[in-house]
Structure 1
Amino acid sequence: MRRFLLSGFVLLIFLFWACAPKEAKIEILSFSVADSIRIHDPDGDPTNSWLGGSDTVITWDSTLFSIKVKYEGPAVGYLDEIIWVLKSPSGEQIKTYEAILYPPIPMEDGQIRDLKFYISFDNKSAYRIDSLYDDTLNYFGIGRVTFYITGTTYAQYIRSDNISFDLKFIP
C-alpha cells in the first residue's frame, strides 16, 4: 500500500510539473546590420554644432536591421515593440529609440521568423557620439547600440535578451 501511495504521489508530482504552463520567451537567434551609417550635416556647414541648432534642422538616417527571432510559449504571443538604445563608447546613454509594431506580429510556440526593420538615428545624437568619440567636429564616431524586442501573451509581458553591436557614424 505504501509503495502504491508513493508511486502515485511521484506520478502526481510529475504530472503537475509536466502540465505546468510554459513561460513565454522571445529569443534572438541571429542578426545582421551594416557596420556604418551615413549621417549628413543638415545645413552643410561643418563648422557649427548640431547641438546648438534648432529642432527644424534635425534629420534622420537609418540602416537596415535583419533579425531572426524565435518565440516559445504556451499560447500565441505577439511581438509589439522594438527598442534600441544608442550609447557612447564609454557606456553613457545618448538616446533611446522605440518603434511600435502595428499590427503586432503574431507568433506561435516554436515559430521562427526573419524580420527586417529600418532603425533610425537623428543627427543630434550622432553629433553627440562624434563629440564624445574624438572631441572634433568631423562627423565621425563609433557608438554602441543595444537592441531588444518586447511582446505580450494573454497573461504576460515578455522581453528578449539584449543584443549589442558597434555602429560607425560617418559623414
Structure 2
Amino acid sequence: MTAVQQSYEMPIRELGPQEMHSRVARFKSLRYPPDRYPDSQLPGHARRNYLVIGRGLVVAGGKDPMSAIPIDEGFQMSYVEAEPGNGPMLHNHDTNETFVAIKGRWRVIWGLNEEHAVDLDPLDVCSVPAYVPRRFVNLEAGAGSTMGLLLAVQPGDAPNCEFM
C-alpha cells in the first residue's frame, strides 16, 4: 500500500494558516499580570508568570492570566522568569506539575516542611505528582541574563492551585 492509499483510524482535521497562526505565541509578545498570584510581589517570591497555553490555574484571589493561546485541550503551559533567590511560596496542585529548566539553574523543593529538593540545570526535567506541596526557586540566572527561565506544564483544563 502506498502512502496515498494508506488508511487512517484517527480522524484527519484540516487546519488553515489563519487558525494555526492564532495558536502561535511569540515569547517577546507574551504579557503577564504582575499580581497574577497572591505572593508574586512579595520579597523572595517576585516572578513573571506567562501563561502560554490554556486558560490558567484556578487560584483564589488570582488575576486574569492573559493566556497567549487560550484553549481547552487538556493542559496548561507557562513560562516563569525570576531573578536568583525568587520563586513561588509553597503551594499544592490537584495535578502533576512538570518543570523544565530553560535558562539558569533552578531548585524544585517539595514536602510540607520543604524537606526535599533537587537542582535542575538547563534542559533538566522534574515532574511533581498531584497533591505534593512544592515550590521552586531560581538559583542562577544563566549566562548574559539577570533572570532564569523555567517551563511549567500542568494537565487539565482548569487545574487548581492552593498556596500553603
User: What TM-score, normalized by structure 1, do the two folds share?
Assistant: 0.26
User: What TM-score, normalized by structure 2, do the two folds share?
Assistant: 0.26
Structure ranking higher in strand proportion: 1
Larger gyration radius, structure 1 or structure 2: 1
Structure ranking higher in helix proportion: 1
